[in-house]
Structure formats: C-alpha cells, structure tokens
Amino acid sequence: MKYNIKILWKNDSAELFTKNKYSRAHKWVFDGGIEVPASSSPQIVPVPMSDKSAVDPEEAFIAALSSCHMLFFLSISAKQNYVIDRYEDKAEGVMGKNDNGKTAMNEVTLHPQVIFSGSNFPSPDQVDKLHQLAHAQCFIANSVRTKINIKPN
C-alpha cells in the first residue's frame, strides 16, 4: 500500500523570508482532493508567522493516532456484535525532550468516550480489552515511539 499527499507553500516576501519572518501557512492536499489549511504551531512559531486557525503537524499527529485507534475500535466492536452510537475522543499530546535530547511528542493520551446501544453491551473489562486490541492493531501507533495511553472516560 502506498499513500500520497501534496504540501503547497508559497513565499510572499523574499525580504521577510531571509529574516526568518515568513508565513508558515500552507496547504495539505490529500489524494481524494480535500485541501486542509496547515501551519506551524503558534506555540512554536508566533502569530502572524503561524496561522492559529490552521492545523499544525503536532495536532495532526495526535489526530492521526486518535482516528486510527477509533477506526480499529469500531471495527473490532462491530465484529463482536457490539453496536456503537457515538465515539468521542479528547486526545492530548505532550512535547518535550526525548531520550536523545531531541524535542519530540513524547506522550499522547486518548480519552475515548463510547456510547453503546442495542442488547449486547460489553462489560468494563471487555471495553478495556477492545481498546487493547485496537491499540495493538493501529498502524499509526505501531509506527511511532511515542508513549500512548488510553484512558476511557
């Protein structure tokens, strides 16, 4: 399997660029055609050089982990005949220095809230097992060194 995206950035000012005061705003163009406004994080590069309304790579990283976990959780639940009406996650990430002294996303914590319906409800232990299975199967989680915690609400 191969995945492709395109990143588009355009310089607005040669003078500002050489002073390191250029805009970090850019676009992510995905293979389905959707364009997402992106930028550096305003926590790292101050506004106006960052666009605080755009998605930054750190947020996208956390979203990718959360989304991947959710998709596997839903799939595993469906195969076990559990019906889910709603899934919400308020995920958070913590940046800091890693073991090599490099700044990295050291820890991501998922806080999934799952609402089941129907006649087949999993026990709290079964829900924990579903999360463990989803985490073990998540392609993104398997691709990173970041510590990932799952704390269902």
Look at 12 and 68; give whichever has higher pLDDT.
68
Mean pLDDT (the chain) is: 96
pLDDT of residue 39: 98
Tokens standing for residue 139: 């392609």
Cβ partners under 8 Å of residue 113, min gap 6:
86, 87, 88, 89, 152, 153
The string of pLDDT tens digits covering residues 92-129 is: 999 999 999 999 999 999 999 999 999 999 999 999 99
pLDDT category of residue 153 using cuts at 50, 70 and 90: confident
How far, in Å, CA of 29 to CA of 49, rounded? 21
Q: Give me the residue spans of the domains in the chain.
A: 1-55, 57-150
Which CATH superfamily does the domain covering 57-150 fall into?
K homology (KH) domain (3.30.300.20)
pLDDT of residue 95: 96
The string of pLDDT tens digits covering residues 31-66 is: 999 999 999 999 999 999 999 999 999 999 999 999
